[in-house]
Structure 1
Amino acid sequence: LIDGSLQPDAGTVNVSGGLAVMPQFVGTVRDGSSVRDLLVSVAPDRIRNAARAVDAAEAALASNDDEAAQMVYAQALSDWAEAGGYDYENTWDMCTIEALGASYYSVMDREAVTLSGGEQKRVVLEALLRGPAEVLLLDEPDNYLDVPSKRRLEQQLRETRKTVLLVSHDRELLSEAADKILSVEPSPAGADVWVHGDGFASFHEARTERFARFEELRRRWDEQHARLRKLVVSLQQAAAVSHAMASRYAAAQTRLRKFEEIGPPPEPPRDQDITMRLKGGRTGVRAITVEKLELTGLMMPFDLEVFQGQRVAVLGSNGSGKSHFLRLLAGQPVDHSGAWKLGARVVPGHFAQTHAYPELEGRTLLD
């Protein structure tokens, strides 16, 4: 709604200053686009349009290297320069050096799919935080980031002079970076939105107090409703024996009807109670055994034993091979050397980082 992709059913949206958006899908780019394409996708319209013109002119020149194609290409480069494209390339160079440890010109044609989810996020975040837009919309910017990158993001959000509206489920990021909370909560009448004018540290206490106010308002409404109904009944009985009470009876009926037309206060948002149950059959003592395992081009050989019932955290920088390691244990093809095996009666359950399961397309939720 804020970036204009959707139109509100009611009300208006006003944005002061330039606006830049990081969509949620950044980190799961698998469409064959390059690092340059990824950076262009979050640049201002004039840069995106100029980049598309350069791409089209290059493609035309490659298929037909005549004078007309050369003139179109020269004009596209001139437009790119006039739009500030080369200045952006200098900024993008700083972004890729910070996020990937390599210059922009050395990675610009690299397919984004070869980057980890965290590396894609870091490249885009660097571009937006260094860019000219005064207002940033960040949809789950912390997804896929390793611990040092999350710490850097928290620091950048604290220090930036930009206005930032971010969506996140990370309590630590919210505590460190947000100074106001906009809460969207399910309620019987639809999503209920309220603003907590302080940070995340006091959010839960304020939310509990808000729920208590809902309950108090409903209790008062019920009490007043009961009093009005009782008054109508008593005046009805009085009017039956005295015509002088008829006008008071009619007035009480009108009052009750208007009270009921206004209706009770809205029901409080539903407090979600989510319980996770992770169950599995008993297995051998050793659930996973790894001997001199090396993921080709990603990590040095290592040994590991995981015993039944253990909870093991796999930490590492973005692009170090954590997801590859889990995919290997799940039975997917991953280039490696060394040995690994699952224990007796062990059946792996793999919850993938990107949740991408093309084989389920068109299937039902139950499937």
Structure 2
Amino acid sequence: MHLSVSHVSKIYEPVTVLDDLSFVISGSERVGLVGANGSGKSTLLRIISGEVEPDSGVVAASGGVEVGYLPQDPPEPGDATIEDLIYQAAGELRELERRLRHLETDMTTARGAAFDRVMDEYSERLEQFERRGGYDIDYRIDVVCAGLHITHIPRDRQFKTLSGGEKARVLLATLLLTSPDILLLDEPTNHLDFPSITWLEQYLAAYSGIMLVVSHDRRFLNQTVTRIIEIDEHSHRLLEYPGNYDHYAQAKARERAQWEIDFAEQQDEITELRKAIRQARAGVDRKAPAPRDPDKSIQEAHKARADKTASKSIRSLEERLRRIEAAPIPKPPLMMKINPVLDANDLKSNEIVRFESVSKAFDDDVVLNDLSFTLRSGQRVVLVGPNGAG
């Protein structure tokens, strides 16, 4: 099983988003896709999933494989309930199972070439059914729903009434239940709490297909991927790094350090060449030998030879400078640093926010119950809790 991306480009005028990208993912590789915001990561996933057409290039996968895609902002499925979505996810495997039963019936009557055709299809479908966990689908429904902490939500509840975190977990659950051969995940941990992320890491460790994931969660990438592909924000091309995110970060740090050294050395060389050219031009007349022969023609010949020698040296220096300036090493961009200065001196009161007996319910669902607390100047507070806690 493999996924091949060959010379894929995409332009949203006037911006080039992807430029001639090529890579192959084989077997059960788990690959992290990283890059700056706006570098084209989500666009690439949408192209691989078939949602968007590339302007050029080809995406190919092994025959008969199923591709599953979790976008960063998936569309809401209308008035569907959780049960509807789970049934739909399992329905593909149910349909595959029905096809197997039908083929088994055909085997009893088919003869000759027809029997061979039935057996070929049966073998292919059975391998697909087993690979995608068809025999234990009911068990996996329970495992996935428990792992993503959605078992407490009534199955007949409409999807649109869920909180943002609950929606994300339900959609992720339905995708995992389809057991696709190729799994495309765009920021899957965005709305997950810590227990759900930990469970997902363990689930993906046992996943037998190809996975390509976009994530800003470094810990998640460290736990789940074996290779990093970076889309460079400047060239819009790919850079590949073996290992997890920590290995990638170390390699990038080494590249950055070497880039800074190479740039500084080239700038020093440019400065020295320009200085040498200026000195050579200024010294042409001084370097001309003072001939002893009073003959003016001989004096001019001596000066011409000296000028020629100096000019040759200057041209050589200028040629070296021209070659360097024709292919300059770009200046490394400044690394972004965030050093906020939060000055509380102008505040009129040390008490910033006060909650007194605050409660909130959505119909019969109580999400906040009699909360009282105060936030004071200088405090740094983190708000934690499981998804759906309010």
TM-score, structure 2 as length reference: 0.55
- 1:142 aligns to 2:189 (yes or no): yes
**Distance of 2:357 and 2:224 partners within structure 1:** 40
**Distance of 1:144 and 1:215 partners within structure 2:** 38
CA contact (8 A) 1:34 1:112 kept: yes
CA contact (8 A) 1:42 1:124 kept: no
Q: CA 1:156 to 1:268, structure 2 compared with 1: closer, same or farther past 3 Å?
A: farther
- The C-alpha deviation readout for 1:168-207, integer Å capped at 9, x for no partner, is 2223322322333334565xx4667644423233444433
1:220 alignment partner, one of 265, 290, 306: 265
Q: CA 1:269 to 1:256, structure 2 compared with 1: closer, same or farther past 3 Å?
A: closer
Who is 2:151 aligned against? 101
Q: CA 1:93 to 1:290, structure 2 compared with 1: closer, same or farther past 3 Å?
A: farther
Deviation at 1:34, TM superposition (A): 5.0
Matches within 5 A, 1:163-312: 163-184=210-231, 189=234, 194-233=239-278, 236=281, 237-238=283-284, 241-262=306-327, 264-275=328-339, 282=349, 284=351, 287-290=354-357, 296-299=363-366, 302-309=369-376, 311=381
**Distance of 1:215 and 1:95 partners within structure 2:** 52
- 1:313 aligns to 2:383 (yes or no): yes
Query: 3-state DSSP class of the match of 1:308?
Result: strand
Query: 3-state DSSP class of the match of 1:242?
Result: helix
Q: CA 1:258 to 1:116, structure 2 compared with 1: closer, same or farther past 3 Å?
A: same
Matches within 5 A, 1:30-179: 32=79, 35=82, 91=137, 94-95=140-141, 98-99=144-145, 100-101=150-151, 107=155, 110-179=157-226
Q: Which amino acid aligns with 1:250?
A: R
Q: CA 1:269 to 1:126, structure 2 compared with 1: closer, same or farther past 3 Å?
A: farther
CA contact (8 A) 1:92 1:127 kept: no
**Distance of 2:308 and 2:138 partners within structure 1:** 87
Q: CA 1:198 to 1:115, structure 2 compared with 1: closer, same or farther past 3 Å?
A: same
CA contact (8 A) 2:184 2:212 kept: yes
Q: CA 1:211 to 1:286, structure 2 compared with 1: closer, same or farther past 3 Å?
A: closer
Bigger relative contact order, structure 1 or 2, given CA contacts below 8 A and separation 6+?
2
**What's the Cα RMSD here?**
4.6
Q: CA 1:23 to 1:286, structure 2 compared with 1: closer, same or farther past 3 Å?
A: closer
Who is 2:35 aligned against? none
Structure whose alpha-carbon radius of gyration is higher: 2
Q: Which amino acid aligns with 1:131?
A: T
Deviation at 1:233, TM superposition (A): 4.1
Runs of 5+ unmatched residues, structure 2 = 1-43, 96-128, 285-303
Deviation at 1:215, TM superposition (A): 0.5
Q: CA 1:288 to 1:155, structure 2 compared with 1: closer, same or farther past 3 Å?
A: same
TM-score, structure 1 as length reference: 0.58
